Copies of this chain bind each other. A is one copy, B any other.
Amino acid sequence: MIKVGIVGGTGYTGVELLRLLAQHPEVEVTAITSRKEAGMPIAEMFPNLRGHFDLAFCDPQDANLSECNVVFFATPNGVAMQQARQLLDDGVRVIDLAADFRIKDIATWEKWYGMQHACPDLVADAVYGLPEVNRQYIREARLVANPGCYPTAVQLGFLPLLEAGVADTSLLIADCKSGVSGAGRKAEISTLFAEAGDNFKAYGVSGHRHLPEISQGLRGFAGAPVGLTFVPHLTPLIRGILATLYVRVDKGVDVQQVFEARYANEPFVDVMPANSHPETRSVRGANLCRISWHRPQDGDVVVVVSVIDNLVKGAAGQAVQNMNIMFGIAENSALTAPGMLP
């Protein structure tokens, strides 16, 4: 059994990790920490877990995380970078679901996240946990930077076209829509039901922290600079991200073939038939990215639509997938359930 610790399990990525790990045949969750909620049974905070976990939140001091095989950080940005080194030194592998190790350029990270980075050397060491790109490196990784939710949906949608060199990289547009759980389980007015319900808005148009993460990835796929415009929107659904991507691709390119070839062996990317309309609910609760594409009016603009559950393939599910890869067990362990529809 893989001994798992979770740091900071009181948010949505925490409860989602637990929901998935409850079904994992080769995992034992040995500790889940919360300074603030120490002593509270996790099933009291998250009643869906009643009967699945007897564990209570414990103080980080008492967690004995160094005895775990792997520790997930489901914490706000800036926490994992303070605590990862000690665990790594103790031989514990680390998967950070926050942004601390995602961006290789430290100055860029510090600009967007507004703090000084505590361990730039670990950033260099960390593997960006997008299995479709880095599976071989993830296998050996000590420290995995689990991708952000928008970055997962956008990168998987652009990846085949950029790698194949068939896209005009000077103008890539990613119009993204996220469910409200993406904002986390935080007491804030803007995400109240009476504020976010029956309402739709763009936010962070002038700049959003996921922009440099996406740009870094796309640049890598293209092997060249890219011109990216990224606009996130808040939409009144609980879970789900849909990314609508616009890119110029020569009319002669067989886009379906490009996608199918790239993802032929990927268990968690589903290339749908051309002209399909993937729906977020088709992946609700599932570790899956569904993608389709269109070429309206047979022009040179290709529209790619990519959907994920922001809490699963966009966070906790991808983290479990990374763990499975790191420990050499079946990549789909605990990740086989279909989406829940309706």
Task: Write the residues of chain A forming the contact surface with B, with a CB cutoff of 8 angstroms.
Answer: 12, 15, 19, 22-23, 46-52, 171, 173, 175, 177, 179-181, 183, 185-189, 191-203, 205-207, 211, 227, 229-231, 233, 235-240, 242, 244, 246, 248, 270, 272, 275, 277-286, 290, 294-297, 299, 301, 303, 305, 307, 311, 336-342
Contacts and interface: CB of A to CB of B under 8 A. Distances in A.
A191 B195 CA distance: 10
Contact of A296 (B185, B196, B230, B237): B230
What 10 pairs between A and B have smallest CB-CB spacing?
Answer: A48-B339, A47-B282, A180-B193, A48-B341, A205-B294, A199-B281, A175-B175, A194-B342, A181-B194, A193-B196
A181 B193 CA distance: 8
A229 to B, nearest CB: 5
A313 to B, nearest CB: 14
B201 A238 contact: no
B229 A299 contact: yes
How many subunits of this chain does the assembly comprise? 4
B193 A340 contact: no
Contacts of A236: 193, 197, 235-237
Contacts of A240: 198-200
A179 B272 CA distance: 25
Given A186-B192, A188-B192, A200-B235, 12 more contacts: A48-B339, A179-B194, A179-B198, A180-B197, A185-B342, A197-B237, A200-B307, A205-B275, A205-B294, A207-B297, A231-B296, A233-B244
